[in-house]
Amino acid sequence: MDANIYAPPKAAVVEPDSAIEARHPFYVVSTRKFTTLFLATLGIYVVFWFYLNWRRYKTATGASVLPAVRAVFSVFFVHALFRAVDETAAERGVAHRWPRQAIATQMVVFLILANMMDRMSAKGLWAPYADLLSFVCIPVIALLGVQAQGAINAACGDPAGRSNSTFSKANIFWIVLGGLLWVLAIIGLVEVVMH
């Protein structure tokens, strides 16, 4: 029997989700991964992003928030989320300056604008300009989200988002599905322009 009872365990030790959420009261993700998933999914990723931020915040603080509701109706809760990020950063002594109010307000405006253009397009109103304007909103919202993600990562002590920078199989699935969605959207837009 050659086993050394004093040797460290050889099994990989995985940190439980609750420990990660306690350490990261918001959703930490690298800006490269955030941008890729946001753009690949035509901005749909933002709903998941809001949900995870509110879920982590609820777990970490015990606040009585409904993450799914706050994700679906994010325009009403963007300012509150960004304020909570700043409060957490201040509590942890993290000095990360960013124009929180301006970014939150701009994000709300562009989320509403994109939604309005999508609804107009679905009703055949103002075609193809509604579609084009909706597409223009996607990178703008992504840039605003990147700035917010930088503040979130800093508040959680992981400024580069290294703890969530690699792409999982689920991420790749959504990127491929989003790519197909982009192809269909572009085909639809070309058809509208050609007619």
Give, as one character, the DSSP assignment of residue 8: P
* Residue 162 pLDDT: 95
Distance CA 134, CA 142 (A): 13
Average pLDDT over residues 46-63: 96
Chain segment 134-157, per-residue pLDDT in tens: 889 999 999 999 999 999 999 999
Straight-line distance from the first to the last Cα atom of the chain, in angstroms, rounded to the nearest whole number: 80
**What b-and-e string marks burial along 99-130, b requiring 16 or more CB atoms within 10 Å of the CB?**
ebeebbebbbebbebbeebbebbeeeeeebeb
Q: What is the pLDDT of residues 100-137, one digit of tens each?
A: 999 999 999 999 999 999 888 878 787 778 888 988 99
CB distance 187 to 124 below 8 Å: no
Confidence of residue 16 (pLDDT cuts 50, 70, 90): very low
What is the model's pTM?
0.83
